[in-house]
Amino acid sequence: MDLSENSLSGPIPGDLFQQCGLLRSISLASNKFSGQIPDSLGSCSTLAAVNFSSNQFSGPLPSVIWSLHGLRSLDLSDNLLEGEIQKGIEGLNSLRTINLGRNHFMGQVPDGIGGCLLLRYIDFSENSLSGSLPNTMQKLTFCADLNLQKNSFVGDVPEWIGEMRSLETLDISENNFSGQVPTSIGQLQSLKVLNISKNAFTGSLPASLINCKNLLAIDISQNSMTGSIPPSVFKLGLQKVLLSGNKFSGSMDSLFLSLTKSLNQKLQILDLSQNALSGEIPSSVGDFSSLQFLNFSKNSLIGSIPASVGELKALNTLDLSENWLNGSIPLEIGGAISLMELRLEKNSLAGKIPSSIDNCSSLTSLILSQNNLTGPIPAAIGKLTYLQTVDLSFNKLTGTLPKQLANLPHLLSFNISHNQLEGELPAGGFFNTISPSSVSGNPSICGAVVNNTCPTVLPKPIVLNPNSSDSNPDSIPQNLGHKKIILSISALIAIGAAAVIVIGVIAITVLNFRVRSSTSHSAAAALTFSGGDDFSHSPTTDANSGKLVMFSGHPDFSTGAHALLNKDCELGRGGFGAVYRTVLGDGHPVAIKKLTVSSLVKSQEDFEREVKKLGKIRHHNLVALEGYYWTPSLQLLIYEFVSGGSLYKHLHEGLGGNFLSWNERFNIILGTAKSMAHLHQMNIIHYNLKSSNILIDSSGEPKVADFGLARLLPMLDRYVLSSKIQSALGYMAPEFACRTVKITEKCDVYGFGVLVLEVVTGKRPVEYMEDDVVVLCDMVRGALEEGRVEECVDRRLQGQFPAEEAIPVMKLGLICTSQVPSNRPDMGEVVNILELIRCPSEGQEELV
C-alpha cells in the first residue's frame, strides 16, 4: 500500500488497519497526515515495512509497533511525535532499519535496542534524547550507520564503540559528549565518515585513527581538543578534513609534509580555522589539485601567500583571514579560475590588488579589508559580473573608482571606507543607493551620496601667439586687426574641433526639432482615429502616421499626443519605458506607456501578435491593455488608468497620509496571487513583479501592471531581462544568475514571496543601513529560526493584526523564496493556502 508523495491530509481513521489481511508494506510518506498513529496498526502482524515519514503525526509512539515481530524497516522521521521511546523494541528481532529522526522524542535510548541484533541503520537524530548510550548497543555488530546528531547526550563515548565493527558512518555531532575520543575507534576499519563536531571533547586525536583505512571524511570541529594534529591522520587519503574551532597547535610545515605525500589528489575540503597553528603556508599547498574549500583563518600564520594557490583550479573558497600574513597578493591568484569566495581580511598584506583577479569570473565575495593595500582599485573588478559583496575598507588605496563598477548587476555591498580614494563615485546601478558609511573616510570622494560637490573641470584656454617676442607674454597686441597672429598647431586643431562641434550641435538641434515635430504630428494624427467593437485599426495609409489599434472602441484619442510631450503628465518610468496619463475625448482616462526599447522590440508582425494576446487577458486584478500604437520608431501601449497609486508608495511613502491596515494588506497579497495564477494559466511569465508594478484602485483592490512585456523582446535572454528589471533588486530569483537553470514561472513565485514579506513587514527587499546591508528574506528567516518572527510585522500594525494570519503568511513568503525553484509552490497552490489562512474550513488543522 503506497500513498506516498501526495497532498493527503487529516487524521488516519482509527479502524483503518483492523482488517489489513496479509499486508506486507505500507507507505504514507511525504503527505500532510496529522493526529496520532492508530493502535489498529498492531493488527497488521505480517507487516515488514512501515514508512510514515514527512507528515505531521503527533502524540506518543504507539507501543503496538513493538508487537510487529516481522518488521524489518520502520521510518517515522520528520513528524511531531513526542514522549519517550518505550521499552519493547527488543521484540523486533528482524528489524534492519529504524529511523525516528527529526521528531520531539525525549528520555534515554532503551536498553532493549541491543536485542535487535540485525540492525544495520539507526537514525535518532534531531530529537531531545539525553543520558548516555546504553551498553547493549555494543552487540549491534552488523550496524553500518549510527546517527545521533542534534540531541542532548552526555558523558564519555564508551570504549565499547569499537565493538560495532561494521560501522561505516558514525555521527554523534551537536550533543554534550565530553572526555577524550576513545582509542578503540581505531578498531572501526570499515569507518568512512566520522563526525563528532560541536561537543565538548578534550585531549588529542587518538593515533589509532591510522587503522581506519577506509576513512574518507572526518569532522572534529567546535570542540576543545588540544595538542598537535597527528600527521598520521592525513595518510589515510581523506577527502574532507574539518578540524576548526579547537585548540590545535604546531607548525604548518610538518603537517603539510605529510599531506602532500598522500592527499594531493584526493583532498577536497580542508578547514583548520580557529586554532593556534603557526608557521608559513607551504608552497606545496598547490599540489592539492582537487581542493575545493581551503580555510586557514583565525590562526597565527606568518609569511606571504604562496603563488602556488593559483594552481588550485577547482578551489571555490579561500579563507586566510585573521592571521599575520604579509607580502602582497600574488599575481598568480588569477589562476584559481573557480574561485567564488576570497577572504584575506585582517592581515598585514601590502602592495596592489592584482588585475589578474578578473580571471576568477565566478567570484561572488571579495573581502580584503583591514590590510595595508595600496594603489588603485583595478578596473578588472568591473568584469566580475557575479560579485555580490566587496569589502576593501581600512586600507591605503588611492586613485579614482573605475566607472566599470556601475555595471555589476548583482552587487549588494561595496565597502571602500577609510582609504585615500578620490573623485566621483560611479553613476548608476548599485552606486545610486550606496550607503554613505560605505565610502566614509575618503575625504576626496565626491558626489551626492557623501554630500560633497565634485569640482567642475574647465577647458584650458587657447594661447595666442606663443612665439611672440614681446617682453610681456601676457599682453595683447594693440593692432590686433592689422598684425599677423601666429597660432600653434595645437591651437589650430582645437579651434577646428570647436568649430566642428558647434556646427554639429546646430545641425543635430535642427534635425531633432524636425523629427520631434514629425513624430508629434504623426502621433497626433494617428491618435485621432476612432476604435471599433473588437480590434479597430487606423484607416490611414500614410507611413508617417503609424498604426493605431484600440480594443475597447473609445471614440476620441486626440489628446494623447499632447500627453506624450507634456512632462507634467508623466506618472513614472521603468525598465521598459515611461508612463503618461491622458484623458480621451469622452472623459475616459488612460495610461500610455511609451516604450524605450525600440532597438530590442520585435518586428511589427511579432509585436502586434504578442500585444493582441496581452489585450485579450482580462482579470479584475490585472491592469487591462486597451490598445496600442505602432511606428518603426515609436511604440505605445494604452492601458486603463488606475487612480490609487502604486503599492510601493502606499508602503514606503505614506501615500494619502494613511498606512495600510492588515485586512487591506492581506487582500492585496491575495489579489496579486490570483492575478499571477491567472497569468501562469495563460503561459505568461511576468518577470518583473515588484511593489511599484502593483497599482491600487479606488476600492483598494490591487492591479498588477507591466505583465508580459518581456514577450516583446526578440529573445528572452536573461542578460537583457536582468538589465531591464535591475530596478527590481531583491525580487530577482537566484536562477537569473545561473545559466544552467531554466527560467520558469517559479521566478515569479520568488518575486511574489519577496513581495509578501515586503507587504507584511513594511520594509524594502534590500535596505542599506549605516554599515550593513539587510536582505529582507534573510532577516525574516533568521527571526523565524529564533522564534521572534512576530516582531517582523510592520510596527505600524502592532496590536492591530491577527498573529494566526500574519505568521503563516510570512512563512508562505519564505517558502516562495526558496533558493531551489522546485521547492516553491505554484501560484494556484499559493492562492489555496492564502484562502485557507483567511477562512480555515471546519476541522482543518491550523496552518503552521
Domain ranges of the chain: 1-143, 513-641, 646-848
Whether 506 shows a pLDDT value over 90: the answer reads: no
C-alpha–C-alpha distance, residues 184 and 171, integer Å: 16
What single string gives the DSSP state of each residue in 15-45? TTTTT-TT--EEE--SSEEEEPPPGGGGG-T
List, for residues 58-74, the tens digit of each pLDDT value: 999 988 898 888 899 99
Determine contact, residues 243/217, Cβ cutoff 8 Å.
no
State the residue for C-alpha cell 490609487. 644
Same topology, domains 1-143 and 513-641? Answer is: no
C-alpha–C-alpha distance, residues 672 and 666, integer Å: 10
Backbone angles phi, psi at 227, to 5 degrees: 80, -175
List, for residues 526-569, the tens digit of each pLDDT value: 443 333 333 444 433 343 456 788 876 554 554 444 444 455 67
What mean pLDDT do residues 769-780 have? 81
C-alpha–C-alpha distance, residues 830 and 840, integer Å: 14
List, for residues 227-239, the tens digit of each pLDDT value: 888 777 777 788 8
C-alpha–C-alpha distance, residues 525 and 10, integer Å: 65
Fold of 646-848: Transferase(Phosphotransferase); domain 1 (1.10.510)
C-alpha–C-alpha distance, residues 34 and 236, integer Å: 47
pLDDT at 601: 61
What type of residue sits at position 674? K
Kindly indicate the confidence band of residue 472, based on its pLDDT and cuts at 50, 70 and 90: very low
State the residue for C-alpha cell 594661447. 463
Task: Check residue 132 and report its DSSP letter.
Answer: P
Determine contact, residues 381/358, Cβ cutoff 8 Å.
yes
Kindly indicate the confidence band of residue 590, based on its pLDDT and cuts at 50, 70 and 90: confident
Neighbouring residues of 480: CB distance < 8 A, sequence distance ≥ 6 = none
List, for residues 191-205, the tens digit of each pLDDT value: 999 999 999 999 998
Whether 107 shows a pLDDT value over 50: the answer reads: yes
Joined together, the cell numbers standing for residue 266 give 584526493
What type of residue sits at position 167? L
Question: What are residue 152's DSSP bridge partners?
Answer: 130
What single string gives the DSSP state of each residue in 327-373? SB--GGGGG-TT--EEE--SS--EEPPPGGGGG-TT--EEE--SSEE
C-alpha–C-alpha distance, residues 49 and 71, integer Å: 6
Neighbouring residues of 222: CB distance < 8 A, sequence distance ≥ 6 = 197, 198, 199, 244, 245, 246
State the residue for C-alpha cell 575540503. 269
Determine contact, residues 157/183, Cβ cutoff 8 Å.
no
Question: What are residue 549's DSSP bridge partners?
Answer: 537, 628
Q: Establish how many alpha carbons lie within 13 A of residue 26's alpha carbon, considering only the half-sphere containing its beta carbon.
A: 17
C-alpha–C-alpha distance, residues 450 and 466, integer Å: 43
Neighbouring residues of 138: CB distance < 8 A, sequence distance ≥ 6 = 114, 158, 160, 161, 163, 164
Kindly indicate the confidence band of residue 276, based on its pLDDT and cuts at 50, 70 and 90: very high
Kindly indicate the confidence band of residue 496, based on its pLDDT and cuts at 50, 70 and 90: low
Residue 512 sits at the vertex; the CA angle it makes with 510 and 514, to the nearest 5 degrees, is 70
* Mean of the per-residue pLDDT values of the chain: 81
CATH assignment of 1-143, given 3.40.50.1820, 1.10.10.10, 3.80.10.10, 3.30.70.330?
A: 3.80.10.10
Question: What are residue 703's DSSP bridge partners?
Answer: 695
List, for residues 648-700, the tens digit of each pLDDT value: 988 888 765 567 889 999 999 999 999 999 999 988 988 889 998 999 988 88
List, for residues 400-439, the tens digit of each pLDDT value: 999 888 888 888 899 999 999 998 888 777 887 788 889 9
Kindly indicate the confidence band of residue 258, based on its pLDDT and cuts at 50, 70 and 90: low
- 614 or 536: which leads in pLDDT: 614
Q: Binding-site residues for ATP, please?
A: 594
Neighbouring residues of 842: CB distance < 8 A, sequence distance ≥ 6 = none
C-alpha–C-alpha distance, residues 848 and 840, integer Å: 12
Neighbouring residues of 566: CB distance < 8 A, sequence distance ≥ 6 = 580
Joined together, the cell numbers standing for residue 810 give 510570512
Q: Binding-site residues, please?
A: 594
CATH number of 513-641: 3.30.200.20
